[in-house]
Amino acid sequence: MKDAKLELIVGVFVLVGIAALTYLAVKLGKLEVIGGGNNLEIHAEFDSVAGLKDGATVEIAGVQVGQVKKIWLNGDGERAVVSFSLTPGVKLYGDAIASIKTRGLIGDKYVSLSPGGSQKELPPGGKIRETESGIDFEKAISEFIHGNVK
Amino acid sequence: MRRHAVMLAVVLAGGLVGGNVLGLTAPAWAGPPVEAVRKTIDEVIRILDDPAWKKPDRKEERRKLLERTISQRFNYPEMAKRSLGAEWGKHSAEEQNEFAANFQTLLSNTYIGRIEAYSGEKVQYLKELNDGEFAEVYTHVDTGKSVIDINYRLQKISDDWSVYDVVVEGTSLVLNYREQFKRILRKDSFAELSRQLRDKSAHIKAPVPDGSETAKGR
């Protein structure tokens, strides 16, 4: 009787341990087993996504609003198509712009979104038409080329 | 007779090659968006190369003509709208028009000096992406020392294509200004942004070049 109780406690303990490990693996691996169903999926085409990986973060104003789900070549085999999974409530419009940026000088690549503000909201599964493929020191070069306001 | 035929062939071949390198003839794959961009670029180059327009007393007039030619292809109100993002919709049509006019002056004053410094750079049309309503035209500008990637993003409006964004070396003009405007609007009002555009335009206005047609100021 005593042995059976001990075995039950050990069993429960092992199950709790397995559950905790599974949760940790899902969290660390950024997998979407639970709660990923309501996410908004959007895609965009880039000339190059060199360095961008599946699972890379997608940000608006530095706030993470999703992640890269999949990267593949388009029908012509010339451009890269990236699909993002965005948290519910994120609003993007027809003139939204997606850019690939680098964190710091040699950091990871991530996708930065500028939501835009035209009347047409981007529907789930929609495509961001305007994109910028990543280059280093984007901003400095951009301001140098196009001039700045200040 | 045979000598004449050979000479004619050489002249024709030379014309075709020269034309292609200068971007004067469109490649076989070129669709209406490439044609639209090419037409404007050719016209701008024609004005810049025309000796009649190079006379010192006609420089001011030439600048106006260049600005008019470019503004027929570039949709400045759309560029201003996209650069302002969500802020655009919060203002009256009158304020929007004033902002678009100031933005046009800023862009015009930023670029006109560089355009006037043109000294035979070659434009090559590389490819076109077209989904019916929107298109992107990829070009190379060969300055002799380096090659610059310039893409034009166009929108079809009543059967004509107009440019709403220019992507130079992978950086978008609209996104550049959108980020700067956002930064300014975080601290200041829309009226203040409009005023800053006006001041900056007046400040950067390039002087009309003098008689010597050199590429100085690049």
Q: What is the pLDDT of residue A41?
A: 92
Locus of tokens 């949760």: A23
Fold of B2-204: Nuclear Transport Factor 2; Chain: A, (3.10.450)
Instruction: Name the pTM for this structure.
Output: 0.75
Residues of A in contact with B170 (CB under 8 A): 47, 132-135, 138
Q: How far apart are CA A19 and CA A12, in angstroms?
A: 10
Q: What is the pLDDT of residue A145?
A: 73
Q: How far apart are CA B2 and CA A147, in angstroms?
A: 57
Those of residues 26-65 in B touching chain A at CB distance below 8 A are none
Q: What is the pLDDT of residue B6?
A: 42
Same domain for A56 and A127: yes
Q: Are B45 and B62 in contact (CB under 8 A)?
A: no
Q: What is the pLDDT of residue B26?
A: 58
Same domain for A125 and A89: yes
Q: Is B126 on the interface with A (CB under 8 A)?
A: no
Residue A73, min C-alpha distance to chain B (Å): 15
Residues of A in contact with B178 (CB under 8 A): 97, 114
Mutate to test the interface with B, among A130, A143, A150 (most CBs of B within 10 A): A130
The verdict on residue A54 lying in a domain is: yes
Cross-chain CB nearest to A97 (options B81, B172, B196): B172
Residue A139, min C-alpha distance to chain B (Å): 8
Reported ipTM exceeds the 0.85 cut: no
Q: How far apart are CA B100 and CA B67, in angstroms?
A: 15
| B174 contacts A130? CB cut-off 8 A | yes
Eight-state DSSP code of residue B145:
S
The verdict on residue A146 lying in a domain is: no
The verdict on residue A56 lying in a domain is: yes
Q: Are B104 and A133 in contact (CB under 8 A)?
A: no
Q: What is the pLDDT of residue B51?
A: 86
Q: Is B174 on the interface with A (CB under 8 A)?
A: yes
Q: What is the pLDDT of residue A50?
A: 83
Same domain for A52 and A6: no
With a cut of 50, which residues of chain A have pLDDT below it?
none
Non-local CB neighbours of B54 within 8 Å, separated by 6+ positions: B62, B211, B213
Q: What is the pLDDT of residue A135?
A: 65
With a cut of 70, which residues of chain B have pLDDT below it?
1-28, 206, 208-218
The verdict on residue A147 lying in a domain is: no
Same domain for A12 and A48: no
The verdict on residue A14 lying in a domain is: yes
Which sequence spans correspond to the domains of chain B? 2-204
The verdict on residue A20 lying in a domain is: yes
The verdict on residue A6 lying in a domain is: yes
Residue A55, min C-alpha distance to chain B (Å): 24
Structural domain boundaries, residue A23:
1-31
Same domain for A66 and A22: no
The verdict on residue A140 lying in a domain is: no
Same domain for A22 and A81: no
* Domain count within chain A: 2
